[in-house]
Amino acid sequence: MNVLVIGSGGREHAIVWKVSKSRHIDKIYCCPGNAGISELAECINFDDNNFGALVDFVKYEGIDLTIVGPEVPLSKGIADVFEKEGRKILGPNMEAAQLEGSKVFAKDLMRRYGIPTAEYKAFTSCLHAEDYVGMKGAPIVIKADGLAAGKGVIVAETVDEAINGLRLIMKDRAFGDAGNRVIVEECIHGEEASFMAFTDGKTILPMVSSQDHKRVFDGDNGPNTGGMGAYSPAPVITEKLESIIMEKVMRPMIRGLQSEGIKYKGILYAGLMIKNNQPYVLEFNCRLGDPETQPVFSRLKTDLIDIALAIIDEKLSDINLEWKPDASVCIVIASKGYPGVYEKGKIITGLDDVKKMNDAFVFHAGTAFNNNKLVTSGGRVLGVTALGKDIKDAKDWAYMAIEKINFNGMHYRKDIADRAIKRQ
Ligand code: AMP
Ligand code: GLY
């Protein structure tokens, strides 16, 4: 089979890597990909929002399956265009992808189907939202309704901070139309975890649990990022809690969507806050997490193409997911300045030495070739991922691999997975 993967980050490298191990695979394409991906796939440079051109390319090259990494093309309806042309694509259609594309849509569904989440109110008027914040007090959370590249959430410690956040989103329109509406919600304190599942709209197969590290600095300090590292499993998600999450969150959401006449096929990702051993949904995503996919797919034994085809054909109940018992840790190395304005074009060395290590793998994110030299080209550059007999072992291997890697201005957290190790 020929497979196309859409996207350019560490998540997409992990998808391409997993696809490359499939018994079905002939050729992999990636749009647009990155330097690491280009070792496994032919990278093509289409505008990934020009779905018509992409579908023509898929027909011309005889591509049998397309897997979509990021949320933006899904929210813009890439799956609808491909399905209309009779092309197999993994990812929900535009209507279903609203679950991530509109926080108001997601929260209203959660309320309607009794899914545990923070108490909230939606606003189209900044003044009314400010009044509500004044009434509720701080801490309080402000969320732009639409997609804002992970930046549209402000966890405000004071009322002033919340009001500034509202004005930034609604008046200064920092995220454009994504700020036409906002959610103001209760702040929940607890431990975060990521819960991802494959679903064909009927069967839901949970993946192993994982946990991201959103803040840029050790000890969860500094601004939020796309994610500075992740590990799997997340010990906070016990077996008992997993069945509670399936019962209270995942099944009601898929059933709820069904009763709204929406078929949800693809990946359903619940960003959870665990408080007193109970899950509260902070957000739903319609795609795999980045960097959670790197450790989670490192543990996945089942052929990803078998899973993708079963989802598309609505036969997911035929699949039995198998996982390596090992733990996995992914540490993100970022460019100087990230998550603010960051440097680019720095030469990366040492990856050949990591290739000699067993059970350590470097997933590329912001990398490119310049005059045949591997250079940085994004904020998050590499996701150094290792397997181990437990999380401590995996963490030690991952940091050992990082020792071999160098580029000017590189930074990474030194405490990825420490919380999980303390728990074990
Ligand atoms: P979201 O994009 O909705 O997941 O929010 C981004 C981050 O903001 C989350 O990963 C949490 O760290 C934080 N957050 C979101 N909602 C809440 C909440 N209701 N209470 C506390 N923290 C939150
Ligand atoms: N790592 C968080 C996300 O993918 O949304």
Tokens of 136: 């509720």
- Tally of domains in the chain: 4
Any atom of ligand 1 within 6 Å of the Cβ of 188: yes
Burial class (CB in 10 A: 0-12, 13-18, 19+), 366: buried
Angle at which helices 304-312 and 10-20 cross, to 10°:
100
Do 278 and 303 fall within a single domain? Answer: yes
Q: Which ligand is nearest to the CA of 284?
A: 1
- Which domain does 55 fall in, by range? 2-93
Do 235 and 309 fall within a single domain? Answer: yes
In this structure, is residue 107 part of a structural domain? no
Do 314 and 214 fall within a single domain? Answer: yes
Determine how many CB atoms are found less than 10 A away from the CB of residue 95. Answer: 18
Three-class secondary structure of residue 382 per DSSP: strand
Report the distance separating Cα 394 and Cα 388, nearest Å: 4
Report the distance separating Cα 424 and Cα 124, nearest Å: 46
Three state DSSP letters for 9-66: CHHHHHHHHHHHCCCCCCEEEEEECCCCHHHCCEECCCCCCCHHHHHHHHHHHCCCEE
In this structure, is residue 118 part of a structural domain? no
DSSP type of residue 232: E
Do 210 and 258 fall within a single domain? Answer: yes
Q: Which ligand is nearest to the CA of 212?
A: 2
Do 384 and 356 fall within a single domain? Answer: yes
Which amino acid makes up residue 90? L
Res 423: pLDDT:
78
CATH number assigned to the domain comprising residue 161? 3.30.1490.20
In this structure, is residue 212 part of a structural domain? yes
Could you read off the pLDDT of 231-245 as tens digits, one per residue? 999 999 999 999 999
- Out of 318, 351, 378, pick the residue that ends a domain: 318
Test site for ligand 2: of 75, 290, 294, 332, most ligand atoms within 8 A of the Cβ: 290
Any atom of ligand 2 within 6 Å of the Cβ of 292: yes
Q: Give pLDDT tens digits along the chain (424 positions).
A: 999 999 999 999 999 999 999 999 999 999 999 999 999 999 999 886 899 999 999 999 999 999 999 999 999 999 999 999 999 999 999 999 999 999 999 999 999 999 999 999 999 999 999 999 999 999 999 999 999 987 899 999 999 999 999 999 999 999 999 999 999 999 999 999 999 999 999 999 999 999 999 999 999 999 889 999 999 999 999 999 999 999 999 999 999 999 999 999 999 999 999 999 999 999 999 999 999 999 999 999 999 999 999 999 999 999 999 999 999 999 999 999 999 999 999 999 999 999 999 889 999 999 999 999 999 999 999 999 999 999 999 999 999 999 999 999 999 999 999 999 987 6
Any atom of ligand 2 within 6 Å of the Cβ of 64: no
Any atom of ligand 2 within 6 Å of the Cβ of 100: no
Res 47: pLDDT:
82
In this structure, is residue 197 part of a structural domain? yes
**Strand ordering across the sheet containing 191-199:** 204-206, 191-199, 266-275, 278-285
Report the distance separating Cα 272 and Cα 284, nearest Å: 9
Any atom of ligand 2 within 6 Å of the Cβ of 303: no
In this structure, is residue 60 part of a structural domain? yes
In this structure, is residue 101 part of a structural domain? no
Determine how many CB atoms are found less than 10 A away from the CB of residue 243. Answer: 11
Do 295 and 383 fall within a single domain? Answer: no
Any atom of ligand 2 within 6 Å of the Cβ of 290: yes
Report the distance separating Cα 329 and Cα 96, nearest Å: 31
Going by their DSSP bridges, the two strands 2-7 and 27-32 should be labelled as parallel
CATH number assigned to the domain comprising residue 226? 3.30.470.20
235: CA distance to ligand 1 center in Å? 20
153: Cα separation from own chain's centroid: 16
375: CA distance to ligand 1 center in Å? 33
Res 109: pLDDT:
97
- Out of 40, 72, 93, pick the residue that ends a domain: 93
Q: Which ligand is nearest to the CA of 332?
A: 2
In this structure, is residue 104 part of a structural domain? no
Do 229 and 156 fall within a single domain? Answer: no
In this structure, is residue 102 part of a structural domain? no
Report the distance separating Cα 395 and Cα 381, nearest Å: 19
Report the distance separating Cα 343 and Cα 206, nearest Å: 38
Nearest atom (ligand 1) to Cα of 118 = 19
Task: Give the residue whose CA is nearest to atom 5 of ligand 2.
Answer: 289
Do 241 and 313 fall within a single domain? Answer: yes
Res 410: pLDDT:
98
CATH number assigned to the domain comprising residue 19? 3.40.50.20
Do 201 and 308 fall within a single domain? Answer: yes
301: CA distance to ligand 1 center in Å? 31
Do 219 and 253 fall within a single domain? Answer: yes
Do 197 and 313 fall within a single domain? Answer: yes
- Out of 69, 93, 117, pick the residue that ends a domain: 93
Task: Give the residue whose CA is nearest to atom 4 of ligand 2.
Answer: 289
Which among 64, 70, 57 is positioned nearest to 313, based on CA atoms? Answer: 64
Tokens of 109: 């569904």
377: CA distance to ligand 1 center in Å? 28
Angle at which helices 159-170 and 126-136 cross, to 10°:
160
CATH number assigned to the domain comprising residue 388? 3.90.600.10
Q: Which ligand is nearest to the CA of 220?
A: 1
Q: Which ligand is nearest to the CA of 189?
A: 1
Maximum distance among all Cα pairs of the chain, rounded to whole angstroms: 60
Do 225 and 266 fall within a single domain? Answer: yes
Any atom of ligand 2 within 6 Å of the Cβ of 227: yes
Cβ-contact 150, 228 below 8 angstroms? no
Res 65: pLDDT:
98
Alpha helices in 171-264 (DSSP H): 239-245, 251-259
